[in-house]
Structure 1
Amino acid sequence: MSPIASETRFRPGVFARLARAGTALAMTALLTSAATPARTQSTLPVESTSIVVGEAHLPTDPLAMAIARELSVNTTVMLDAAINAGSEDELELGIQGFYQGRVFQPLWVSEQGLNPHGEMLLAAFERAGEHALDPQDYAPDRLRDLAGAARDTAALAELEVAISNTFVIYANHLTAGRVKPNEVNRSLNLFPKAPDPSVVLEYVESSEDFATAIDGLSPNTPNYARLKTALADYRAKEAAGGFTPVPEGETLKPGMTDARLDTLRQRLAEQDLFSPGSHSGAVYDGALVEAVKLFQERHGLEVDGIIGKATLAEINVPISTRIGQMELNMERRRWMPDDLGARYVFVNLADQNLKVVEDDKTVHTTRVVVGKPFHATPVFSDEMTYAEVNPYWTVPYSIATTEYLPMLQRDPGALQGKNIRVFSGNREIDPWSVAWSSYSRASFPFTLRQDPGEGNALGRIKFMFPNKFNIYIHDTPSKSLFSRAQRSFSHGCIRAEAPFDLGEALLGPDGWTKAKLETVRDSGERRVIKLSKPLPVHLTYLTAWVNKDGSVHFRADIYERDKVLAKAIAQLRPANL
């Protein structure tokens, strides 16, 4: 796995400060933990004028003493909910390190009860739904009950520590998500990690604008912000009545008359796709057809204006389902790093589209074919390092043994017409000299390799970002599949439409134009072209997103990853403070 995929996710600007603050605090925690093992209760005699915890000296003010006592016995109340953080001991030390570094002074309370920071944080817990999180996971009602009952230093200390514990979980969920992607689904090779608790606590404590600091824990990207805004809008639409279902009926084509058009106009207006008054009557034409085409485009359907079964089914998806899609994809956005690179390739497998991005602007897009559900393309990030014109195709072992071995057993010359040759090591083998019937899927010692040419399964160019999954982007001789709305037909690799246009977009900085690449192609010679600078490639799976123009898009869950993620989140146990 490349550093792009495995590095800890930090917010630009926001977590730069966190990292600086964390250096000193981590040293404090390390020194203190060496003197005082985790979970060791400290002796805090009331009559003492100073209290020693390891080598850390506490002042005599009662609230700080009570916080130290509370931390010694109650620092891991709910830390098992910190899914993408360190171990429970590391979390405990992080919280203790923060308080030891500030000599156990409170952050959220004063002797009078909740301070303004504490009030703002509890309000943030109560509004967690804005981020598609469950407010009850942070038990704001219980914390408010504790605040209301806090009449002495012991109760205030309990409240202080409970809020800090809860905040660590909240920050963990906002920065890195509620579940571990790779444990939910092995095809999701993402490993987000939240920052150390002491770093987060120091960050908010030292921030000049506390409310902004809390909100800044979430992904600092326009994509996340737009989806958050759209989620609020769709929830408001749901509260206003949701989407009106359109009755079943015959396939509706432009020019036909239909009694359902009033309902259809209402339904599309509810999704802001149709302007009331721009169309009337019983004839399906004009602005109403254009609104349906817009709906089809934003839902990954054939854009033909015809309302058949597929389009009607999407129209009648309840708004609650769409809200659920948005919530799941906000979780996915929390798994992703904010900084994808100044220049990168972004493939959305659910959308079956690829884009090349430079300085936050999309400079090239193309349709792609992705893996069949049985050969689902994994989610991961890596770096493109070279392209190959007129490539060989080394047939994957699974394809060689499941598809081609039976053909060779029936006819040893079956692959010659496909320009596929047989090798044993580096030595070419005459297929007629092999007793193919004596080999099986479990005992196949040969390599099958297809020569470059028009019929090559990889087409005439491939783009390599070497990875353990053997996934890459390539041309294909099967061009007809790109005209389909749903394009999941490969064995896992990504087939690109107009690959030499893509080649110019990817290799242009190194002086390669489309014409220059096609000249190499036409020569028939195999040519490896190295990129002067590795190019980040991100394979993602997003079934809901919002474009810069504010348009909300949804896609079918072709790999049922929404279903798996929704189940994993539903099985999370509510936090038990």
Structure 2
Amino acid sequence: MVHLSPLRQAGQAVLLSLAPVTALAQTPPPAEPAPQLQLDLPSTTGEVAPPPANLNPPPIPIPAMSPAQQGYLNDWLKQGAQQGLSSRNRATRALSGDALVSAVLDRARALTRGRVDTADFLEVWALRPAAFDPRPGLAAAITADRLPQWVAGLTPPYAGYEGLRKGLVAYEQIRDAGGWPSLTAQSDAATVRRRLAMEDKEISAAEPVSAAIQRAQRRYGLNPTGQLDARTLASLNVQVADRIGAIMANMERWRWLPRQLPENRVQVNIAAAVLTMFEGDQPVKSMRAVTGSPSNATPMLASSIRSIVVNPPWNVPTSIAKRELWPKGRGTLIAQGYKILKTPEGGERIVQPAGPNSALGRLKFDFDNPFAVYLHDTPARGKFSSYDRLASHGCVRLEKPVALAEMMVQGDPELEGQIQALIDQGKTQRVSLPREVAVYLLYWTAFAGSNGAMNFREDPYGWDKLLAQKIEASSERAAAATLASKD
């Protein structure tokens, strides 16, 4: 489970690498003397050996651009707000020469791997975009006169990103028209209907206003009562500028992802507390989850699930033991079934044995990550019926873990259909999956529905505003650098 403050120091990516060790087999000595090696040693007569080959070749040169190409790229650079790289379009002077090339390369990198440099990430933003050099593509596009096609290929190729881009345009239009009014519990039906219509294009004058409120509540992830309760009012009264910031932040997170996701994968939307299983790149099963509370953020990360632990014990992390269990007293802990074990360092640790009351339930889905988080079952089922499901210590609790496990072992004749039988045996055992399953823990607080309407979730960790600020600051630095450059 994660035990890191969500606002701990930024930029420290934890990388673990294991270097393979190759054993060298000994061979008998050759029958004949080995040939003498000819070494290029410095001459003793004053001659100097040639320098080694250049290990850092010069960057690919950018061909000269036609006036039409320069005009196209200058117009493109003015459209940063349309891709969520700034909150408003900036007036910029026309660029040419090295200044234009530098600005275009910077924009290409921002669209492909994010506007914010990874050195400025929070530690729990553990997704790391792949390196990208836009120079070869730009040079080829200029030579072939295919700049529009090159530009179109820079943004993430996902419907989720495109839905946000279209939503951004709509919300910027609302902002530029003056935004929306605040509602109160005393607002009349006509006022409420007008406010809802600003985000809901399906609203009609004939339907009851309660039906339109229900649609809004579903878009916000709230209980669709049709009543204008306090939480619904709070969601409707979020300023449009904050909605734009949320869209920008989510577009940036899309840019951090690889351009092709594994076809078979598990995705968790941390903010919505929902897990979705994909097969063949299609969503095939979703279930409710419980994710980290605001004080125990579930990290964003990508990894792979290779095994499942059946009937897992819970080795209570030190931070949880200190904060929640040790204050109960040793006698109470032992009476509740915990075991207190000695550590090699002479201290003590708490373990909850496997069983129906174990905090990990009957199944634990392991995957490598520096935060010690995982997916797991839970005996506490009440939260799954709630619309507020951010309550864990950072791990992801699953509503239907057996169904998920069965999907992961499909194709293995010894395991398929046997997960519950293994649980019923009562013993702890690790089950290897027939194939590893990619897992992504992501933080989506804004996304477009099937009808194009924007859906929003609360920002429990405060990451949206922080990331939107970082995007804006990074764009301002890039714009300042461009203005300071000389043609």
TM interval, shorter chain, is 0.7 to 0.9
Structure 1 pair 184/396, CA: closer, same or farther in 2 (3 Å)? same
Structure 1 residue 446, shift from structure 2 partner: 2.2
Structure 1 residue 139, shift from structure 2 partner: 7.0
Residue 464 of structure 2 aligns to a residue whose secondary structure is helix
User: Are residues 1:166 and 2:103 paired?
Assistant: yes
Structure 1 residue 3, shift from structure 2 partner: 10
Match of 2:81 among 124, 129, 152: 129
**CA RMSD in angstroms, aligned pairs only:** 3.0
Residue 355 of structure 2 aligns to a residue whose secondary structure is coil
Structure 1 pair 542/522, CA: closer, same or farther in 2 (3 Å)? same
Q: Which stretch of structure 1 is more off in the superposition, 336-345 or 414-423?
A: 414-423
| Aligned counterparts of 1:293 and 1:140: Cα–Cα separation in 2 | 44
* 1:168-317 mapped onto 2 (5 Å cutoff): 168-181=105-118, 183-207=120-144, 209-249=146-186, 260-272=188-200, 274-279=202-207, 287-317=208-238
| Aligned counterparts of 1:508 and 1:515: Cα–Cα separation in 2 | 8
Structure 1 pair 340/533, CA: closer, same or farther in 2 (3 Å)? same
* 1:475-514 mapped onto 2 (5 Å cutoff): 475-510=377-412
User: Are residues 1:117 and 2:69 paired?
Assistant: yes
Structure 1 residue 201, shift from structure 2 partner: 2.2
Match of 1:470 among 372, 388, 393: 372
Structure 1 residue 518, shift from structure 2 partner: 1.8
Contact 1:390–1:460 (CA under 8 A) maintained in structure 2: yes
Which residue does the alignment assign to 1:415? Answer: 333
| Aligned counterparts of 1:391 and 1:320: Cα–Cα separation in 2 | 46
Q: Whose helix fraction is larger, Structure 1's or Structure 2's?
A: 1
Structure 1 residue 536, shift from structure 2 partner: 0.8
Which residue does the alignment assign to 1:85? Answer: none
| Aligned counterparts of 2:90 and 2:108: Cα–Cα separation in 1 | 11
Contact 2:378–2:398 (CA under 8 A) maintained in structure 1: yes
* 1:431-442 mapped onto 2 (5 Å cutoff): none
* 1:305-344 mapped onto 2 (5 Å cutoff): 305-344=226-265
Which residue does the alignment assign to 1:439? Answer: none
User: Are residues 1:575 and 2:480 paired?
Assistant: yes
| Aligned counterparts of 1:121 and 1:385: Cα–Cα separation in 2 | 46
Structure 1 residue 175, shift from structure 2 partner: 0.8
Structure 1 pair 518/417, CA: closer, same or farther in 2 (3 Å)? farther
| CA displacement 1:137-194 (0-9 Å, x = unmatched) | 9874242xxxxxxxxxxxxxxx222211111111111111111246231211122244
Which amino acid counterpart does residue 198 of structure 2 have in structure 1? E
Structure 1 pair 403/247, CA: closer, same or farther in 2 (3 Å)? closer
Structure 1 residue 506, shift from structure 2 partner: 2.9
Runs of 4+ in 1 over 6 A off after TM superposition: 1-5, 33-37, 135-139
Which residue does the alignment assign to 2:448? Answer: 546
* 1:522-533 mapped onto 2 (5 Å cutoff): 522-533=424-435
| Aligned counterparts of 2:302 and 2:118: Cα–Cα separation in 1 | 14
Contact 1:184–1:564 (CA under 8 A) maintained in structure 2: no
Which residue does the alignment assign to 2:460? Answer: 558
| Aligned counterparts of 1:223 and 1:208: Cα–Cα separation in 2 | 30
Contact 1:175–1:218 (CA under 8 A) maintained in structure 2: yes
Structure 1 residue 136, shift from structure 2 partner: 8.8
| CA displacement 1:304-356 (0-9 Å, x = unmatched) | 22221110111122323212211121111111112120111111111111111
Contact 1:459–1:475 (CA under 8 A) maintained in structure 2: yes
Which amino acid counterpart does residue 229 of structure 1 have in structure 2? K
Structure 1 residue 266, shift from structure 2 partner: 1.5
Structure 1 pair 494/232, CA: closer, same or farther in 2 (3 Å)? same
Which residue does the alignment assign to 2:42? Answer: none
Structure 1 residue 445, shift from structure 2 partner: 1.6
Which residue does the alignment assign to 1:148? Answer: none
Residue 351 of structure 2 aligns to a residue whose secondary structure is strand
For structure 1, list consecutive stretches of 5 or more residues without a partner in the other structure.
6-32, 38-89, 100-104, 144-158, 250-258, 280-286, 427-442
Structure 1 pair 136/168, CA: closer, same or farther in 2 (3 Å)? farther
| CA displacement 1:208-228 (0-9 Å, x = unmatched) | 632121121111221111111
User: Are residues 1:141 and 2:62 paired?
Assistant: no
Which amino acid counterpart does residue 449 of structure 2 have in structure 1? N
Which residue does the alignment assign to 1:81? Answer: none
Which amino acid counterpart does residue 122 of structure 2 have in structure 1? N
Structure 1 pair 504/303, CA: closer, same or farther in 2 (3 Å)? farther
Structure 1 pair 422/127, CA: closer, same or farther in 2 (3 Å)? same
RCO higher in 1 or 2 (8 Å CA, sep ≥ 6)? 2
Contact 1:192–1:335 (CA under 8 A) maintained in structure 2: yes
Residue 213 of structure 1 aligns to a residue whose secondary structure is helix
Structure 1 residue 405, shift from structure 2 partner: 2.5
Structure 1 pair 170/509, CA: closer, same or farther in 2 (3 Å)? same
Residue 508 of structure 1 aligns to a residue whose secondary structure is coil
For structure 2, list consecutive stretches of 5 or more residues without a partner in the other structure.
1-12, 18-50, 483-487
User: Are residues 1:447 and 2:331 paired?
Assistant: no
| Aligned counterparts of 2:269 and 2:169: Cα–Cα separation in 1 | 24
Contact 1:175–1:194 (CA under 8 A) maintained in structure 2: no
Structure 1 pair 504/120, CA: closer, same or farther in 2 (3 Å)? same
Is the radius of gyration larger for structure 1 or structure 2? 1
| Aligned counterparts of 2:295 and 2:87: Cα–Cα separation in 1 | 37
| Aligned counterparts of 1:364 and 1:464: Cα–Cα separation in 2 | 20
Structure 1 pair 355/389, CA: closer, same or farther in 2 (3 Å)? same
User: Are residues 1:379 and 2:300 paired?
Assistant: yes
Match of 1:365 among 283, 286, 291: 286
Structure 1 residue 550, shift from structure 2 partner: 2.2
Contact 1:138–1:166 (CA under 8 A) maintained in structure 2: no
